[in-house]
Amino acid sequence: MPRITPCLWFNHNAEEAAEFYIKIFPNSAVTNIVHAPSGGTPSNEPGAVMVVEFTLDGESFVGLNGGPHFTFTEAISYQVHCKDQAEIDYYWDALLSGGGEPNVCGWLKDRFGMSWQVFPTRLMELNSDPDPERANRSMQAMMTMQKIDLAAIEAAAAG
């Protein structure tokens, strides 16, 4: 099977972003850095960091310093599945650190503009509960939040 690896396009700070992410997620590391050749590239001076390969909790990523031509949008996001409120709080705060922006329903943008969804795995169970009223109460509670408050959603679902 071919391996699929997300390639994230950065203006000039792929290495900084990779270092930021590997400090947040366990089992993570920068695995390779490729520098621009002696003649440079259209987006990189000779010797500048051009590509950063890294893993986040064992998943492979590539950061490309491709210049200012493209930026991240909410059309692509990464989901962080959390087991409890402590994990939600940790990842929410860590990903927002240094200038991120909170959004609604557990979504945020980190300081590099990457969108993340930080939510408990329990939320999907509550939002798809076989009791439509319970599921609706859970969904409505979630819609009022930025960072997910699992206890409040559990209470809303219970009625």
What does the pLDDT look like over 95-142, one tens digit per residue? Answer: 999 999 999 999 999 999 999 999 999 999 999 999 999 999 999 999
pLDDT at 101: 98
Tell me what percent of the residues of the chain surpass a pLDDT of 70: 99
pLDDT at 42: 86
Tell me what percent of the residues of the chain surpass a pLDDT of 90: 94
pTM of the model: 0.93
CA atoms within 13 A on the CB side of 73: 2
* Total Cβ atoms within 10 A of residue 77: 16
Domains and CATH numbers, the chain: 7-65 (3.10.180.10), 77-158 (3.10.180.10)
